């Protein structure tokens, strides 16, 4: 009986037919027309807010592009990824939801799937790089002394190459892009894992290199940062005002990065769970009406980051103004000390005379 198990598994994989091959029209919506209209309005609002927000971040950064620090360059790259998702991807799904079917055929489906995965992977890898930057900056102070702008641009080149490689791998014959079960959107063909061992290897590789490994690096970085901050808070309290202000600014920037990563993961993890279940769970066991909710939640991830930037920006401004006041008071105290020293020297000279 044990010897027959592998044959049974292989035969079941060969007999499995994915949802998009079970029906003549895989792009017809499986939702009600009312549900499609609601989803279309939802994505329209998300797309407008995301485009305006990320466009504003990029515009404001371009006005001071020569003064951007390495960490800020990475933040701009994240805004570029989010803007790409909004401009390149969302119009396809919005039109399809309002049309009650995917209207762009297989070529449009593969393009939409590639663009969504490319910019999504770029966002996650950018956040991974930002988390490493924060970890090295907070936990290894000497790192900040040698990091320059050209290092950030090298990192950007690696990020875009990484995202391009994994998004293009499905076109090499080891994977594919396919319509979602509800018909009006497209994604990676997670259902290949149900059909063959090669499909399982493809899905596992995507999950590890484009989700699990980056997420593990992010979690490791911020856990180490939290532990370091707890142990060094008392030490920083003994330093002068300038070092305290610098520490506060670094922690504010770290909080921004943590909030961005948390928002991204909260938006994408439900979709990842559903995708993994579709790949390795019981075939077609995820209800179609349920599968659309994580997809819509994931599409909202690009909207959160500009909101986080604006909320924290006010605190940055207050912190900077506090730092300027501290510097001015420090200069005044130095002037007073120097003048007092000069006065005392003049008095000594008079007494000697």
The partner residues of 177 in beta bridges, in order of sequence, read 188
What pLDDT score does 243 carry? 54
**Distance from C-alpha of 97 to C-alpha of 101, rounded to nearest angstrom:** 6
Sign (positive or negative) of CA dihedral 150, 155, 156, 162: positive
In the chain, what are the domains? Answer: 33-317 (1.20.1070.10)
pLDDT at 123: 93
SS3 of residue 297 by DSSP = helix
* For the chain, percent of residues with pLDDT exceeding 90: 40
**In 3D, which of 89, 347, 121, 134 has the Cα closest to residue 254?**
134
Spatial separation of the C-alpha atoms in residues 228 and 138, rounded to whole Å = 8
73 touches 152 (CB < 8 A): yes
- Calculate the average pLDDT of the chain: 79
Q: 72 near 61, Cβ under 8 Å?
A: yes
* pLDDT at residue number 68: 83
pLDDT of residue 5: 40
pLDDT at 226 over 70: yes
152-190 core/surface letters (b: 16 or more CB in 10 A; e: else): beebbeebbebbeebbebbeeeebbbbbbbbbbbbbbbb
> Cα(232)–Cα(141) distance, rounded to whole angstroms?
12
Which pLDDT band, with edges at 50, 70 and 90, does 22 fall under?
Answer: confident
For tokens 């799904």, name the residue. Answer: 93
Question: Tens digit of pLDDT for each residue in 317-344?
Answer: 444 444 444 444 434 433 333 344 444 4
């Amino acid at each position: 009986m044990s010897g027959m198990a592998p044959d049974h598994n292989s035969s079941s994989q060969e007999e499995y037919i994915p949802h998009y091959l079970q029906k003549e029209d895989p792009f017809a919506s499986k939702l009600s027309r009312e549900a499609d209209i609601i989803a279309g309005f939802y994505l329209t609002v998300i797309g407008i807010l995301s485009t305006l927000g990320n466009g504003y971040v990029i515009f404001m950064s371009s006005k001071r592009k020569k003064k951007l620090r390495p960490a800020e360059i990475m933040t701009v790259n994240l805004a570029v990824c989010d803007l790409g998702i909004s401009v390149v991807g969302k119009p396809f799904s919005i039109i399809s939801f309002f049309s009650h079917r995917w209207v762009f055929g297989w070529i449009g489906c593969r393009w939409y799937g590639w663009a969504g995965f490319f910019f999504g992977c770029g966002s996650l890898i950018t956040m991974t790089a930002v988390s490493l930057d924060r970890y090295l900056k907070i936990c290894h102070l000497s790192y900040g002394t040698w990091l320059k702008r050209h290092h950030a641009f090298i990192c950007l080149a690696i990020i875009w190459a990484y995202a391009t490689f994994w998004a293009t791998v499905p076109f090499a014959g080891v994977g594919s892009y396919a319509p979602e079960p509800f018909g009006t959107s497209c994604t990676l063909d997670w259902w290949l894992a149900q059909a063959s061992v090669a499909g399982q290897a493809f899905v596992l590789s995507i999950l590890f290199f484009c989700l699990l490994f980056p997420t593990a690096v992010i979690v490791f970085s911020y856990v180490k940062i939290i532990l370091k901050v707890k142990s060094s808070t008392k030490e920083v309290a003994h330093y002068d005002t300038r070092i305290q202000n610098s520490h506060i600014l670094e922690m504010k920037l770290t909080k921004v990065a943590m909030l961005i990563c948390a928002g991204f993961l909260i938006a994408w993890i439900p979709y990842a769970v559903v995708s993994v279940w579709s790949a390795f769970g019981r075939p077609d066991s995820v209800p179609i009406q349920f599968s659309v909710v994580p997809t819509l939640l994931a599409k909202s991830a690009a909207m959160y980051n500009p909101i986080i930037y604006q909320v924290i920006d006010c605190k940055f401004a207050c912190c900077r103004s506090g730092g300027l006041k501290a510097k001015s008071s420090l200069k005044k105290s130095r002037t007073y000390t120097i003048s007092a020293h000069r006065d005392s020297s003049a008095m000594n000279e008079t007494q000697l005379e």
